[in-house]
Amino acid sequence: MTHYTKPLPRFWYFPDTLKCLVTLTNDGEYRTEADFEPQFRDIDSMGAKMSLYILETDKVSKNWVDHWTSKGFEIAGHPDDTKEAGQPDWDHMDQVLKNKKQEIETKFGVQVRTVVNHWFVWCGRDSSGQQDFGAQAMLEEKNGIDLDINYPLYDIHSNQGAFYLGTPGIHQGFHGGSGLVMKFANAQGKTIHVYQHFNAVYDQQYNESNNPEGFYKSFKGLVDRSLNDEIYSFVSIKAHNDEYDFSKEPLLKMLAYANSRGIPVWTAANLLDFVKMRDEATFSKLSWWDHQLSFTLSSSLKHSSGLTCMIPASYGGKTIKRITLNGEEVPACIKQVKGSEYAFVTVEPGKNHELTVDYTQ
């Protein structure tokens, strides 16, 4: 393990030096663009962006899609396999995904790369009919979909009872095991190249219990934990248009809180672009000589946000004296992460960078 012979850089989870990021999604169901318009204007007025998953494309025009995608919103598909919701079939679900993706891309000229299924219908059997809970993700990979948001926090009618984890926003967690965006794996442990983004702040959970304050608190609690308690999280909000009469007030309150804490609210597609960019970047040519660490940070994918690497602030009884990026000295911005101190250095993605770090007694 080279950790024992030299300090090792690593990549930070979030864009720039953020400690939390929010995404906002909306399942269109049977609504029209006239229904969507007021909600989109509200979201836009708060400086936020949203992903809309369209079920019925004949209720939305290309002009409307062009207008909102030009402003940074995402339009994608809401595949409907509810006819076999009890036992989805691989071949039928495959066709449903293909059809909806083609329908959206043909009519609106936008690429479908993220997905939320109607009713969150999930195929759990592979092409041979064998049980594999990663089958849906494999179908998405097969159809060129890279990020899935089909897992919401919804415990009403569960066998544990509603809110069995305790007060929303204080005790609730991430049923995927982490607030981070991670790739799926199949039953044999092989990585499926589709990311899962857990939907932790789900409007129907709180609408059905008539609890708008709980909707807001679930959001604020998760954000505060990410910012203050190092439970680092990409927080996903769901705000159905057909329940906007319930969610409008708490949602706008969430967006105002995000603004007050300096947290951007992105589309799922923008999040996908960032995590793909981050995961593609690499470190190479690591050298440790005479208390100087040097390495190359290689990145070929561009993104509007910065890519940050973390460098141990101390090693072998010595601390960072100077950091040089591409021949220019840069400040050593020291932050503590999980009990260890690191120097954060943010670079422009899509380029290669040379870094040297001098340590001294």
What would the pLDDT profile of 211-267 be if each residue is shown by its tens digit?
A: 999 999 999 999 999 999 999 999 999 999 999 999 999 999 999 999 999 999 999
Q: What pLDDT band is residue 165 in, cutting at 50, 70 and 90? A: low
For residues 44 and 75, state if they share a domain: yes
Is residue 273, in this structure, part of any structural domain at all?
no
Domain CATH for 287:
2.60.40
Is residue 342, in this structure, part of any structural domain at all?
yes
Query: pLDDT tens digits, residue range 265-274?
Result: 999 999 999 9
| Residue ending a domain, choose from 263, 296, 320 | 263
Q: Are 82 and 43 in contact (CB under 8 A)?
A: no
Q: 3-class DSSP state for residue 299? A: coil
Q: What pLDDT band is residue 297 in, cutting at 50, 70 and 90? A: very high
For residues 250 and 290, state if they share a domain: no
Is residue 270, in this structure, part of any structural domain at all?
no
The structural domain count of the chain equals 2
Q: Are 207 and 246 in contact (CB under 8 A)?
A: yes
Query: pLDDT tens digits, residue range 4-59?
Result: 689 999 999 999 999 999 999 999 999 999 999 999 999 999 999 999 999 999 99
For residues 98 and 160, state if they share a domain: yes
Domain CATH for 67:
3.20.20.370
Is residue 246, in this structure, part of any structural domain at all?
yes
Query: pLDDT tens digits, residue range 85-117?
Result: 999 999 999 999 999 999 999 999 999 999 999
Q: Rounded distance, CA 35 to CA 241, Å?
A: 7
Per the structure, the complete domain to which residue 107 belongs is given by 20-263
Of 153, 148, 173, 181, the residue nearest 237 (C-alpha)? 153
For residues 303 and 258, state if they share a domain: no
For residues 257 and 329, state if they share a domain: no
For residues 75 and 204, state if they share a domain: yes
Is residue 242, in this structure, part of any structural domain at all?
yes
β-strand pairing of 265-266 with 182-185: unpaired
Q: What's the pLDDT at 176?
A: 81
Total length of the chain? 361
- What mean pLDDT, rounded, does the chain reach? 95
Residue 316: both structure tokens together: 């072998």
78: amino acid identity, one letter: H
Q: 3-class DSSP state for residue 186? A: coil
pTM: 0.95
For residues 199 and 87, state if they share a domain: yes
The residue-averaged pLDDT of 337-352 equals 97
